[in-house]
Amino acid sequence: MTKEPQPVRKAVFPVAGLGTRFLPATKAVPKEMLTVVDKPVIQYVVDEAREAGIEHFVFVTGRNKAVIEDHFDQQVELEQTLRERGKQEALDILAAGLPAAGQTSFTRQQAPLGLGHAVWCARELVGNEPFALLLPDMVMQDQPGCMSRMMEVYRETGGNIISTEAVDWEETHKYGIVEKGAAAAGGFRITGMVEKPAPGTAPSNLYINGRYILQPEIFSILETQATGAGGEIQLTDAMLKLAEKQDFFGFTFTGRTFDCGSKEGFIKANLAYAMWSRKMARSLGPELRELLDSIKPVDG
């Protein structure tokens, strides 16, 4: 009988990035707190993790990110005002997004040394157990969510899981790409990984889209790893080393992914989530069609 893998209870969210592509909007507001319809980007990602059964949320922050911590805390004065005004629906919305006491932890990444370094900064809070890693720029639209589906694969395979997504072959040089092996429990074995392969050399068209389940041995690899591309500690390099000792499995996500670290992806996410609401879709649909037919770009 196959031993059941150790449960994944904790998730890491690297939120230390500067968000320079959104200046001046992100001069004083973290990019993770920009709103998609009515929720900050980071709330969508945390909700995805919570739906998947995550019990503890670990945020790796940087300077000027205190508002993220405030967002996942009670706002006593606001709640009291809403209560006095009989705004029960608003109170319910706030309560639904609030983690329980002790479920959030925050640690600081003092220097911008890359994703691998951000993950390593969470080592003491994660401890010696498997954990989920969710990149907050990547907002996934599906029901159930991407991480929930990955958990289904993990419960069957154990090991390490990477979420992947199909991309046009002509675009593979922009991403981390996996090599696809034999099918396994709703996913597949990963037999190789390459970061931004040269055009025409990619082993598949499946790119790594920002969701992972990793074993804690990744931390000891990251601790001694030299910097790679861009002078940063690369997570892909560490995963390649870990793959020499442990199994890696891929999961192919078939929902919609929005890179909210880009302006185009952020706008697409707002439109997609607005149109997910029947009420908003009825109101916005005709207006969007009219805008598409009438607006002409002013910047050429």
Question: Tokens 């951000």, residue?
Answer: 118
Question: In which domain, by residue range, is 32 found?
Answer: 10-261
Mean residue pLDDT of the chain comes to 91
Q: Are 70 and 132 found together in one domain?
A: yes
pLDDT single digits (tens) 221-241: 999 888 776 778 889 999 999
Let me know if residue 1 belongs to a domain. Answer: no
Q: Are 257 and 268 found together in one domain?
A: no
Let me know: does 176 contact 194? Beta carbons within 8 Å: yes
Let me know if residue 300 belongs to a domain. Answer: no
> pLDDT exceeding 70 applies to what percent of the chain?
97
Higher pLDDT, 7 or 185: 7
- Dig out the tokens for 2 from the structure: 């196959």
Q: Are 150 and 276 found together in one domain?
A: no
For residue 198, give the DSSP letter.
Answer: P
Let me know if residue 204 belongs to a domain. Answer: yes
Q: Are 160 and 213 found together in one domain?
A: yes
Let me know if residue 137 belongs to a domain. Answer: yes
- What is the reported pLDDT for 1? 36
Q: Are 186 and 278 found together in one domain?
A: no
Let me know if residue 150 belongs to a domain. Answer: yes
Assess whether pLDDT exceeds 80 at residue 258: yes
Q: Are 24 and 165 found together in one domain?
A: yes
Average pLDDT over residues 79-98: 91
Let me know if residue 238 belongs to a domain. Answer: yes
Let me know if residue 287 belongs to a domain. Answer: yes
- How many domains are contained in the chain? 2
Let me know: does 216 contact 129? Beta carbons within 8 Å: yes
Q: For residue 272, which amino acid is it?
A: A
Q: Are 255 and 278 found together in one domain?
A: no
pLDDT single digits (tens) 9-37: 999 999 998 888 898 988 889 999 999 99
Average pLDDT over residues 185-211: 92
Task: Give me the CATH number covering residue 23.
Answer: 3.90.550.10
Q: Are 245 and 268 found together in one domain?
A: no
Let me know if residue 273 belongs to a domain. Answer: yes
Average pLDDT over residues 70-79: 91
Question: Tokens 């149109």, residue?
Answer: 275
Q: Are 276 and 178 found together in one domain?
A: no
In angstroms, the first-to-last Cα distance of the chain is: 64
- What is the reported pLDDT for 240? 92
Q: Are 98 and 204 found together in one domain?
A: yes
Q: Are 138 and 159 found together in one domain?
A: yes
Q: Are 245 and 277 found together in one domain?
A: no
pLDDT single digits (tens) 155-188: 999 999 999 999 999 999 989 999 999 999 889 9
pLDDT single digits (tens) 112-169: 888 999 999 999 999 999 999 999 999 999 999 999 999 999 999 999 999 999 999 9
